[in-house]
Amino acid sequence: MEFANKTIVTEFILLGFSGIENLKIFLFITFLLIYIFTVMGNMVILAIVYFDSHLHTPMYFFLTNLSLLEILYTSNIIPRMLLNIITENQAISFTWCIVQLYFFGSLGSTECILLGVMAYDRYIAICYPLHYSLLMNTKASLRMSFSSWVVGFTATFGAIILVSQLWFCGPNEIKHFYCDLRPVLQLSCKNPFIMETVSVILASTILLCTCLFTLASYIHIILTILKIPSSEGRQRAFSTCGAHLTVVIIFYGAMIFMYVTPATVNSFNFNKVLALLYTVMTPLMNPFIYTLRNKEVRQALRKVSRKIHNVNAQKDQL
């Protein structure tokens, strides 16, 4: 098809990890194992919280939302990345690129909001424990969780519509392992200034607002923990809080650097490393940091293990 004497691009080439052919098998196995452990770890959390009535609380309800989010988030990126690593076909159609871009932006925005909600939940629980059951009841937690998903998926919709209206006449090589906004915009033959401005404003609003809210909640939590008379209690609280803050800083730090700072200060290779942090490593870390280090979750795991062992023993007897 011809438009303005130029060929319209109907598909893109994801360069991904091209140039390191000797490491393809190693990268494929590594990312495949990470994906399997990420999905299995988050599914275990979903199953444990569902079957153990003691975990039917707002905190674990938010954690199940995070686990579901991480499964969808990684499934939007890693399977396609694995296909590109192991095969010679690195092409992705324009339509599927836009779809991947939309879900990436929507799920990422939802996670930012959900992390803020989870920080607020812990802030109320630690700083105002007597008011927790009143402020964080079932209706409130459902409303906050539902709002996180709705806002996350609607906030990026307008931006994606603008991207889909751009036209591309070549080249069509995306220097990334998935369809990311900035690499795609740089291939546009139409001036993407408006789209870049909209994306920076949108990213700044979602990322910076939720980041500041989350950090403010943790600062209040830390100040409250410092007032705990027991050194053992302070140490245990700081251990959990510190692990949570590590994930928050990695996630927000990488995304703010990529989507809020000017494009001129970023390099594609460095962006790939940052992208791996929040698309691959953070979803892998979350099940262990937020739940599997938790005493209640470990007790629930032991209960499930005992039940499975008893069922198998009964089958063997029969």
Q: What structural domains does the chain harbor?
A: 7-310 (1.20.1070.10)
Confidence at residue 310, expressed as pLDDT on a 0 to 100 scale: 66
Question: Could you tell me which residue, 7 or 163, shows the higher pLDDT?
Answer: 163
Report the pLDDT averaged over residues 68-86: 91
Least confident of 121-135, 141-155, 214-228, 230-244: 230-244
Confidence at residue 143, expressed as pLDDT on a 0 to 100 scale: 95
pLDDT category at 117 given cuts 50, 70, 90 is very high
Confidence at residue 293, expressed as pLDDT on a 0 to 100 scale: 62
Q: How many whole angstroms separate alpha carbon 122 and alpha carbon 1?
A: 56
Three-state SS annotation for 190-242:
CCCHHHHHHHHHHHHHHHHHHHHHHHHHHHHHHHHHCCCCCHHHHHHHHHHHH
pLDDT at 2 over 60: no
Confidence at residue 313, expressed as pLDDT on a 0 to 100 scale: 62
* Average pLDDT along the chain: 82
Question: Could you tell me which residue, 110 or 242, shows the higher pLDDT?
Answer: 110
Confidence at residue 87, expressed as pLDDT on a 0 to 100 scale: 82
Nearest to 138 by CA among 217, 62, 35: 62
Question: Could you tell me which residue, 182 or 312, shows the higher pLDDT?
Answer: 182
Cβ proximity of 91 and 15 under 8 Å: no
Confidence at residue 249, expressed as pLDDT on a 0 to 100 scale: 83
Instruction: Give the pair of three-digit tokens for residue 48.
Output: 């444990």
Quick: pLDDT tens for 212-259: 999 999 989 888 888 877 776 677 666 667 767 777 888 888 888 877
- Whether the full predicted model's pTM is greater than 0.75, yes or no, is yes
Cβ proximity of 151 and 109 under 8 Å: yes
Cβ proximity of 174 and 183 under 8 Å: yes
Confidence at residue 129, expressed as pLDDT on a 0 to 100 scale: 87
Quick: pLDDT tens for 39-55: 998 998 898 888 888 88
**CA angle 219-156-202, nearest 5°?**
55
pLDDT category at 4 given cuts 50, 70, 90 is very low
